[in-house]
Amino acid sequence: MIDARPAVEQIQAAFAGAVIEVTAIHGVPMLRLRKQALPTVAHFLHTSPSLRASLSLLWAVDHRPRETRFELCYLFTLAERKDWLLLAVDLQGKEREFPSITSHLHAAKWYEREIRDLFGLIPVGHPDLRRLVRHEHWPKGAHPLTKDFPWDRVLGRVQGEYAFRTIHGEGVFEVPVGPIHAGIIEPGHFRFSVAGEPIMQLEVRHFWKHRGLEKLFEQQPLTEAVPLSERVSGDTSVGHSLAYCQAVETLLGIEPPPRARYLRTLFLELERLHNHIGDVGAICNDTAYALAHAHCGRMKEHLMQLNDRLTGSRFLRGVICVGGITVDLSGLHLAQVEVELNALEQEFSSLEKILFANASLTERLENTGILTEGIAWDHAVMGVVGRASGIDRDLRRDRPFAAYDVLQPKVALYRYGDVRARMRVRMDEIHESVRLIREVRRCIPSGTLIAEATRSPQAGEWALSAVEGWRGEILYVVMAGEAGRIHRCKVRDPSFVHWPAIQWAALGNIVPDFPLINKSFNLSYAGNDL
């Protein structure tokens, strides 16, 4: 709370009549506002030179039946201090409208549309109120995250058609791609407007297989929902389960043992390694550089076999638990891991030299799919994509968790924002992950693996958790309900933030380059459509 106090004081001084209450939730300062003041306060936070806050998360809570109100929560990250500040507004009784902040912050656009679909709350003044999550076959009035909507309700199908944005003019054509693709990927629709070859507009239309995960979380006890979190995005089992467990541990007053913290770090970096190496190969494959793709595929497979030998799961499932970790590694295991990673790093370094000596490859990557720092900032982009565009944020350094406070990771940062930069960030992070795992082996203490709960949370109490996954920041908000169950679980994978941003990176490029741009972002369809 100390670091965010200047921001709180500035808001109180500038908007004295707007602030109803100032509190703190597990160290996060929260200002409860009159809803009419929300857009101006949000604009002030975002544009003030001393604050430069970006919107990291927006979620809604239906407090019924305990209270007759909805609550909207806006989580901001202060640029310089990397600290959090929370704004909250209440909708009492039958009140269902709230002022949109999208015209002031582009990052709010999808969040507000999502809230309208899932809660039936209306962001007044939003420039685009088309459905987002609920496709047109959903009947009107069906808002699945309200408490009076049964989790097992079966909806009938109605007819409807999505109104895509169109550009009119001589020589303008639309090129629809998907939602069914030739590869083994989940459904996603991309609609290009082109004049000749350059892309004038790209509209992304996803959410074809909404699984209702946030509703399913509400049926679970706090300590038993870890398997569900592992399946939010199958390639990020450790990242999501760790973020979920950290939030629950805050609610239960659990401090994971030191050895568990180091092992959590090791497994998170192993997850980062095999995904980053796979992505480097996939980017090369989309430039027709099949040899590099084959080598990266072989290295990725080696890492996933290592995962399996260590934990019994190629995707490292079942490793993280509330209170600590389920799998211990002996000194011999850790030594073997280091030997294998040292050999892999040497091999990858040799491949790097070959890649950057290939002029045809570098020419395809340079100046392709540029996401400028300004656009990235306006859309609150983070992770690999953000660091490739000059956004200097990494939770491992800025808000350390697990054992990162001791290990102190080095952050890869580039500013040219193209496919090359996004590949370079991944390459640098591969080397850093290997270094961090070496440090884990050197520093890991002995001791227990799981700690017990020291308290029981009250109904309505919530906690916020953040993890720097391999794509970027994973956020979880977990609110306790009655009898130790979950009242609300808000999940945010980085993909939900980055899908709107990719539409800007595609502009001015040609349609055949989009697969390369898309692969350099490598976003999750499942993590986006919960």
Would you write out the chain's pLDDT as a tens digit for each of its 530 residues? 345 677 888 888 888 888 898 898 888 999 999 999 999 999 999 998 888 899 999 999 999 988 999 999 999 998 776 889 999 999 999 999 999 999 999 999 999 999 999 999 999 999 999 999 998 888 988 999 999 998 888 888 888 888 888 888 888 999 999 888 877 788 999 999 998 889 999 999 999 988 999 999 998 999 999 999 999 999 999 999 999 999 999 999 999 999 999 999 999 999 999 999 999 999 999 999 999 999 999 999 999 999 999 999 999 999 999 999 999 999 999 999 999 999 999 999 999 999 989 988 999 999 999 999 999 999 999 999 999 999 999 999 999 999 999 999 999 999 999 999 999 999 999 999 999 999 999 999 999 999 999 999 999 999 999 999 999 999 999 999 998 999 999 999 999 999 999 999 999 999 999 999 999 999 999 999 98
Cα–Cα distance measured from residue 278 to residue 404, given in angstroms and rounded to the nearest whole number: 24
Q: Give 99's strand partners.
A: 124
Of 345, 359, 310, 285, residue with least CA distance to 515 = 285
Q: Tokens at residue 218, please?
A: 């509400």
Q: What is the pLDDT of residue 3?
A: 59
What secondary structure does DSSP assign to 170-225, as a single string? TTEEEEEE-SS-SSS----EEEEEEESSBEEEEEEE--SS---HHHHHTTSBGGG-
What is the C-alpha separation between 384 and 380, in angstroms, rounded?
13
For residues 200 and 193, the answer to whether their CB atoms sit within 8 Å is yes
Task: Give domain limits for the chain.
Answer: 5-124, 172-205, 213-318+331-521
pLDDT for 415:
94
SS3 93: coil
The answer to whether the CB of 492 falls within 8 A of the CB of 527 is no
CB count in 10 Å sphere of residue 166:
11
Q: Does the predicted TM-score (pTM) go above 0.85? A: yes
Give, to the nearest 10 degrees, the angle between helix 419-443 and helix 331-356: 160
Q: CA-to-CA distance for 282 and 516, rounded, in angstroms?
A: 9
3-state secondary structure of 321: strand
Q: Are 438 and 262 in contact (CB under 8 A)?
A: no
Q: Are 234 and 315 in contact (CB under 8 A)?
A: yes
Give CA–CA dist 524/515, Å, rounded: 14
Residue type, 388: A
Res 155: pLDDT: 84
Helix (H, G, I), strand (E, B) or coil at 351: helix
Pick from 500, 280, 523: nearest CA to 380: 500
Angle at 55 between CA 50 and CA 57, to 5 degrees: 145
Q: Which residues contact 161 (CB under 8 A, 6 or more apart)?
A: 136
CA–CA separation, 280 and 447 (whole Å): 37
d(CA 426, CA 340): 20
Write the single-letter amino acid at 386: G
Q: Side-chain half-sphere of 529: how many Cα atoms within 13 Å?
A: 17
Per DSSP bridges, beta strands 172-177 and 19-25 are unpaired
Topology at the third CATH level for domain 213-318+331-521: Cytochrome-c3 Hydrogenase; chain B (1.10.645)
Helix (H, G, I), strand (E, B) or coil at 489: strand
Q: Which segments within 297-401 are labelled E, that is strand?
A: 320-321, 324-325
CA-to-CA distance for 225 and 248, rounded, in angstroms?
Answer: 10
Kindly state the tokens that stand for 453.
């709960």
Longest dimension (CA), the chain: 71
Contacts of 67 (CB under 8 A, 6+ apart): none
Specify the residue for token string 């979880």: 476
How many CA within 13 A on the CB side of residue 38? Answer: 30
Pick the CATH number of 5-124 from 3.30.460.80, 3.30.950.10, 3.10.20.90, 3.40.50.720: 3.30.460.80
